Amino acid sequence: MEVAELTLEQATTLEDECRNEGHTLHRDLLEKKYESLITHNPKLTRTLVSFQANKNTPYYRWFKYKEGFSAQMVHYLLNTLAKKQGALLDPFSGTGAALFASQESGWEATGIELLPVGCAITEARQAAEQVDIVQLKKEIETLSCVDFSTIKSDSPIQHIAITEGAFSRDTEDQLNGYLTYCDNQIEDAHIKTLLRFAAFCILERISYTRKDGQYLRWDYRAGRTRVKSKFNKGKVYTFEEALQLQLNLMVEDLLYEDMDLFKKENLSNTEQNIRLIQGSCLEELCKFSEESFNFILTSPPYCNRYDYTRTYALELVFLNKNEEEVKHLRQQMLSCTVENKEKVESLVTQYADMKREDFLQKAIFAFENHNALQEVLYWLNTYNGKGQLNNSNIPRMIANYFLEMALVIFEMSRILKSGGKVAMVNDNVRYAGEEIPVDLILSDFAEAAGLSTRNIWVLGTGKGNSSQQMGKYGRAELRKCVYIWEK
Ligand SMILES: C[S@@+](CC[C@H](N)C(=O)[O-])C[C@H]1O[C@@H](n2cnc3c(N)ncnc32)[C@H](O)[C@@H]1O
């Protein structure tokens, strides 16, 4: 029987069973161990930590990357936790918020990001810092007189199955014509990057889709046969109006930032620009020498089945990723969807090639011998055996998530300087009523890797895992935290 089919009475019985003495023994012990370090930090609100706080922040508001940090949170953490500037790393750098905000206060920032979406946002931001605004405004004036639908595209957007039909014919013709115009008529590299980026930012607005939790939701006007309910996303912008709004916003921010003399001065004093590595941190972290960074500020994907490659499918297609490449990216991501397969075999080969098998084995040992984690996996596998999970790959996803995170944490500890700190943002999760204290398990991994836990700062009120879970198991708080580890 699927969990989703349980009656309220059955669900209550299952919940009671889950609360039996001993059922959560190792998680209870773990909670006791960290009890004194788990505190509410009133300075860290949910809004401050998330992208929401960027709504009015120049540059950050150009593209809504819901999973992004706010610039204010980065400033708060660095001001509170770091004695002086140095080298900062974000191994899951997304849009580069940690990189740009830290660079503004004089840090040398390095980021690793797997998805080309985050990399494109980071690169656009770098172009924004170097662009000639007067020249850009001139180009924008010129293009306001061009009819893009008349421009024949040399390389129109090639859709993948999950994006087919996202735009009306007119919109897609204009989008393709505009991109061809940018490629053929704009010489300056920074201006070209920013003009193309403006189109990248409006893809959702001009499409029949909406980013909605786990996937793209389709408006009935797209006429996709598979759409069951009559979802209406509201206004679908024409290409012209969306582009104009986006370009206005970008110019407004560029002019505003150009007047911020303090920031300009600080940036010109920073010797190095931001260093962005496009790739998987599971493959890249091992390339850094020991003790390379003073601070690691990061937020990995959460263990919540959220699939970035589906949410950002339009943007991936815009960036010329084909079906195979998108599938490959999905597999390379830190395991957080039920589709992710084990990476352990390739990691064993990778570490053997570097003659560092022992290092990998230490991370695997921490994972395999973590009682609370193994307790969760035991129960989830048991429910799976009885057909009680709504997806049978959930235990595999959780196991892979923690094994990969163990390795990431061991590598972070190795490349952190003595006295250096890690600040990590992450959410706890729950599956089939089993709460997974992600914060405490990862803190235990950090301790096994030679770090000590200074704080586990809990943000505002937690949230249930999903509406379905809340219905079945009642609303229990799940912690959303920022953890601080020190070497
Ligand atoms: C929670 S988001 C971080 C957002 C970031 N803090 C920001 O301000 O934009 C997690 C990021 O990790 C990236 N990611 C997932 N797997 C990765 C991997 N194996 N290596 C590097 N980045 C990865 C995702 O693409 C996503 O951008």
Q: DSSP for 5-23?
A: G--HHHHHHHHHHHTSTTT
Distance (Å, whole) CA 344 – CA 350? 10
Backbone φ and ψ of 480, nearest 5°: -115, 125
Measured from the CB, is residue 296 less than 6 Å from ligand 1?
Answer: no
Least confident of 144-158, 214-228, 300-314: 214-228
Distance (Å, whole) CA 128 – CA 24? 51
The tens digit of pLDDT for each residue in 23-50 reads 899 999 999 999 999 999 988 888 888 7
Distance (Å, whole) CA 373 – CA 26? 8
What number is the average pLDDT over the span 124-131? 94
What number is the average pLDDT over the span 368-391? 95
Please name every residue paired with 423 in a beta bridge, in sequence order, or none if there are none. 297, 484
Q: Please tell me the pTM assigned to this model.
A: 0.91
Measured from the CB, is residue 112 less than 6 Å from ligand 1?
Answer: yes
What number is the average pLDDT over the span 469-476? 48
Residue 300 has pLDDT above 50, yes or no: yes
Distance (Å, whole) CA 117 – CA 276? 13
Residues 6+ apart with CB under 8 A from 167: 175, 206, 207, 208
What number is the average pLDDT over the span 337-354? 97
Please give, one letter per residue, the 3-state secondary structure of 223-267. Answer: CCCCCCCCCCCCCCCCHHHHHHHHHHHHHHHHHHHHCCHHHHHHH
The tens digit of pLDDT for each residue in 152-201 reads 998 999 999 999 999 999 999 999 999 999 999 999 999 999 999 999 99
Q: How confident is the model at residue 464 (pLDDT cuts 50, 70, 90)?
A: very low
Percent of the chain with pLDDT over 90: 80
Q: What DSSP element (H or E) covers 209? A: strand 209-212
Distance (Å, whole) CA 337 – CA 335? 6
Tokens 């087919």 — which residue? 164
The tens digit of pLDDT for each residue in 422-432 reads 999 999 999 99
Helix axis angle, 239-258 relative to 189-201, nearest 10°? 130
Average pLDDT over the chain, rounded to an integer: 90
Q: Is 358 exposed, middle or buried (0-12, 13-18, 19+ CB in 10 A)?
A: exposed
Distance (Å, whole) CA 179 – CA 173? 10
Quote the tokens at residue 336.
Answer: 């957080």
Residue 454 has pLDDT above 80, yes or no: yes
Helices first, then strands: H and E counts in the chain: 21, 12
Domain residues of the chain, as ranges?
A: 3-40+279-307+320-486, 128-258
Compare 3 and 270 and report the one with higher pLDDT: 270
Q: State residue 341's pLDDT score.
A: 96
Residue 403 has pLDDT above 90, yes or no: yes
Q: How confident is the model at residue 1 (pLDDT cuts 50, 70, 90)?
A: very low
Residue nearest to atom 16 of ligand 1 (CA): 333
Q: State residue 62's pLDDT score.
A: 95
Measured from the CB, is residue 173 less than 6 Å from ligand 1?
Answer: no
Q: State residue 470's pLDDT score.
A: 42
Least confident of 42-56, 192-206, 286-300, 365-379: 42-56
Q: What DSSP element (H or E) covers 214? A: none
Residues 6+ apart with CB under 8 A from 225: none
Rg (CA), the chain: 24
Spell out the alpha helix ranges (H) of 19-70.
25-34, 46-49
| Atom number in ligand 1 closest to CA 93 | 5
Maximum Cα–Cα distance across the chain: 73
Residue nearest to atom 20 of ligand 1 (CA): 280
Residues 6+ apart with CB under 8 A from 237: 202, 205, 206, 245
Measured from the CB, is residue 429 less than 6 Å from ligand 1?
Answer: no
The tens digit of pLDDT for each residue in 224-249 reads 866 567 899 999 999 999 999 999 99
| Atom number in ligand 1 closest to CA 308 | 25
